[in-house]
A and B are shown apart, each in its own frame.
Chain A
Amino acid sequence: MRQARTVISTYSADTFGVCSALYELGGMVVMHDASGCNSTYTTHDEPRWYNSDSLVFISGLTEMDAIMGNDDKLKDDVISAVEELKPKFVAIAGTPIPMMNGCDLEAVAMEIEAEAGLPCFGFQTNGMQSYLVGASEALCEFARRLTDKDAKKRQRAVNVLGATPLDFSINGSVESIKKLLKDSGWEIIGTWAMGSSLDDLARAGEAAVNLVISSVGLKTAIYLNQTFGTPYVVGTPNDKCFSEMVLRDLELAENDGKSRISFSNLEASAETRIYIVGEGVTSRSLAAAIGIKSGIVPKVVHTLEGLPELSGVLSKMDNQAMEEEEIQKAASDAQIVIADPLYRPILPGNCRFIALPHEAFSGRMFRKDIPDFTKIDVEKMLGQYEI
């Protein structure tokens, strides 16, 4: 059956990507949607919900408002909430209903911005694309609108782009990546967007180089490159052997101003039957680490759609497979697979399976087993398996 998922889970949607990316920045995020269960935008996909506050609202779209195109209600409600709660910015994001009746949220945002006098972003999300689309657009829009365009570059300063709990959970992975950078003498300007304030992010132009640690950060990296001329390095630090490559590339990029993809020289081995299934950048980074250690680079089955920027990141041997059947086919000859545990049932029964839970796919189910990326030791990970 095409386009159907009968066994595996689905990824967090674009709507939630927006919420996740903007969660810590002091703004107000309004999902233009029917009222009811808000937990899809908060508790299910948002591990920070219980420990830190964020203004995430549902507009309470009614059938009549949708039919009558009553955008004024959304506008008025947002403006009165702004007066009461004084957020630093507003983001309104679409869901299936407004998307179906053609509500132009970018235009509504423009009207709110003019009336309320604070930055307001409109996102044409529709709940049918993956979190990558929403999160990367949210970060990039933030970069377009709120970064200080007169910022002066500083030596050995770096932004970390693409940090959300959807890819890194809240188990210290992002902090460890930051520590790794600091220990190598880098000053971190902003981490987009975990653990940094709106003001930190606004200073993005000061960085000498940007580090993209997931697909979510790519679009912003490209924008910052075009706007400030900042080169970027794509790679998620993991095993020491690959982290060192990333650190070396950061230095090279700072020196010659050229962007780099740290795993680009480690093409997947044509013959290999080892696969990593999941998000492109983190998976390719892990494949690279395995390649460095074992001489065999696993193939990546990239399971998320919608980011044109990503095509430059994947290896020729990799596979883009979104649907259950495609994923199943792409890994049908697998001997070893590294993937979220919810993929296990569609993989060959006799393959050896190494669990690498992914919050955006299995939520909190296996959260305690999500590793701190920088503490991954690929030899240990592959452990008993001969490759």
Chain B
Amino acid sequence: MIKLAIYGKGGIGKSTTVSNLAAALAEKGLKVMQIGCDPKADSTGSLHHLDRVDTVLELVKERKNDFELEDMVHEGYKGVLCVEAGGPTPGMGCAGRGIIAALEKLAEKGAYEKYKPDVVFYDVLGDVVCGGFSMPMRGGYADKVFIITSGENMAIHAAANIAMAVENFKGRGYAQLGGIILNCRDVKNEAEKVEELAEDINSKIVGRLSRSETVQAAEDLNMTVLEAFPDSEMAGEYRLLATKIMAECGVEI
């Protein structure tokens, strides 16, 4: 089982990218689980196409422990197993602590043993602002962290912070930095700026995605690019990225 956590600035394209990667790997016959770790609970919609699904935290809140693993896991495109951690009412409670509770509940209910996914993606909200958001990179969770960024300064700044968190945790047996995914916004000197970041944090760019209208067109259909436009150039980019990320984890697909 390969477990990967994807971090990056809000709105940078984490959920879109992860969902397409999940779809690409599922097309190759791998069992993929995607866990949205964002109180917005909008990580997996383009895979399962449902209006809404129960989040783990909603289930815990409403039914305590009186629910099954299957209530949390929703099968989507090509059998991708979709989970949304969920979170508290905006402006209240503690979202970070919510992520911890949700991931613990998922493990407690035997999600990894029961479904035996080949690949697990944790799609984690924005910056690592508190202990809860480092949960997916803790011991027993992700093995590797990939950071998505564009050449925009804010995105690069967030990426550097995430890399620093990973570095600070190096004595703790947490996930290691797998690399950077460049999701282009077509800003000036984009490639150079992200190259420089990679150098600064002792990492590398494992893949590059173009800014593409196809992505938005697919989003309007509430689908991944792989499902909506399987023969498009963008679908090819996601497939290539999936191959490269797996290669980083020592797996040829």
Show the binding face of A for B, using Cβ within 8 Å. 69, 100-104, 106-108, 110-111, 114
**Does B97 sit within 8 A of A, measured CB to CB?**
yes
User: In the complex, which of the residues A103, A106, A110 contacts B131, with contact meaning CB atoms closer than 8 Å?
Assistant: A103
Q: In the complex, identify which listed stretch (B84-92, B144-152, B166-174, B192-200) lies at the interface while the others stay far away.
A: B166-174
User: In the complex, which of the residues B94, B130, B132, B139 contacts A107, with contact meaning CB atoms closer than 8 Å?
Assistant: B139
**Does B2 sit within 8 A of A, measured CB to CB?**
no
Given A69-B131, A102-B132, A107-B97 contact (CB < 8 Å): no
Show the binding face of B for A, using Cβ within 8 Å. 94, 96-97, 100, 130-132, 134-135, 138-139, 169, 171-174
Do B171 and A110 touch (CB < 8 A)? Answer: yes
User: In the complex, which of the residues A69, A100, A101, A107 contacts B172, with contact meaning CB atoms closer than 8 Å?
Assistant: A107
Distance in angstroms between the alpha carbons of A107 and B171 in the assembled complex = 8
Q: Which residues from A are CB-within-8-Å of B132?
A: 102
If A100-B97, A102-B97, A102-B131 are given as contacts, then 15 extra A-B residue pairs at C-beta distance below 8 Å, sorted by A number, are A69-B130, A69-B131, A101-B96, A101-B130, A102-B100, A102-B132, A102-B135, A104-B138, A106-B139, A107-B138, A107-B139, A107-B169, A107-B172, A107-B173, A107-B174
* Closest Cβ–Cβ distance, residue B17 to chain A (whole Å): 26
Do A100 and B94 touch (CB < 8 A)? Answer: yes
* Closest Cβ–Cβ distance, residue B39 to chain A (whole Å): 15
Distance in angstroms between the alpha carbons of A24 and B174 in the assembled complex = 32
Do A114 and B135 touch (CB < 8 A)? Answer: no
User: In the complex, which of the residues B96, B139, B173 contacts A102, with contact meaning CB atoms closer than 8 Å?
Assistant: B96
Q: Which residues from B are CB-within-8-Å of A111?
A: 171-172
Q: Which 10 A-B pairs have the closest CB atoms?
A: A102-B131, A107-B172, A111-B171, A102-B132, A102-B100, A101-B131, A110-B172, A110-B173, A114-B171, A104-B138
Distance in angstroms between the alpha carbons of A344 and B105 in the assembled complex = 36
Name A's interface SS.
Answer: helix
| 15 interchain pairs, CB-CB under 8 A | A69-B130, A100-B97, A101-B96, A101-B131, A102-B96, A102-B97, A102-B134, A102-B135, A104-B134, A106-B139, A107-B139, A107-B172, A110-B139, A110-B173, A114-B171
Among B94, B131, B134, B135, which residue has the most Cβ atoms of chain A within 10 A?
B131
Distance in angstroms between the alpha carbons of A103 and B131 in the assembled complex = 6
Closest A residue to B131 by CB, please name it: A102
Do B97 and A101 touch (CB < 8 A)? Answer: yes
Q: Which residues from B are CB-within-8-Å of A101?
A: 94, 96-97, 130-131
Distance in angstroms between the alpha carbons of A69 and B97 in the assembled complex = 13
Q: Which residues from A are CB-within-8-Å of B174?
A: 107
* Closest Cβ–Cβ distance, residue A294 to chain B (whole Å): 37
Distance in angstroms between the alpha carbons of A69 and B96 in the assembled complex = 13
Closest B residue to A108 by CB, please name it: B172
Q: Which residues from A are CB-within-8-Å of B139?
A: 104, 106-107, 110
Closest A residue to B96 by CB, please name it: A102
Q: Which residues from A are CB-within-8-Å of B100?
A: 102
Q: Which residues from A are CB-within-8-Å of B138?
A: 104, 107
Distance in angstroms between the alpha carbons of A108 and B97 in the assembled complex = 18
* Closest Cβ–Cβ distance, residue B160 to chain A (whole Å): 19
Q: Which residues from A are CB-within-8-Å of B135?
A: 102
Among A101, A102, A104, A108, which residue has the most Cβ atoms of chain B within 10 A?
A102
Closest B residue to A67 by CB, please name it: B130
Q: Which residues from B are CB-within-8-Å of A102?
A: 96-97, 100, 130-132, 134-135
* Closest Cβ–Cβ distance, residue A102 to chain B (whole Å): 3
Distance in angstroms between the alpha carbons of A187 and B94 in the assembled complex = 53
Distance in angstroms between the alpha carbons of A108 and B134 in the assembled complex = 14
Q: Which residues from B are CB-within-8-Å of A110?
A: 139, 171-173
Distance in angstroms between the alpha carbons of A106 and B174 in the assembled complex = 11
* Closest Cβ–Cβ distance, residue A127 to chain B (whole Å): 15
Distance in angstroms between the alpha carbons of A107 and B100 in the assembled complex = 15
* Closest Cβ–Cβ distance, residue B91 to chain A (whole Å): 18
Closest A residue to B132 by CB, please name it: A102
Distance in angstroms between the alpha carbons of A103 and B169 in the assembled complex = 13
Closest B residue to A2 by CB, please name it: B64
Q: Which residues from B are CB-within-8-Å of A114?
A: 171
Q: Which residues from B are CB-within-8-Å of A108?
A: 172
* Closest Cβ–Cβ distance, residue A351 to chain B (whole Å): 31
Distance in angstroms between the alpha carbons of A108 and B131 in the assembled complex = 13
* Closest Cβ–Cβ distance, residue B44 to chain A (whole Å): 24
Given A69-B130, A69-B131, A104-B172 contact (CB < 8 Å): yes
Distance in angstroms between the alpha carbons of A111 and B169 in the assembled complex = 9
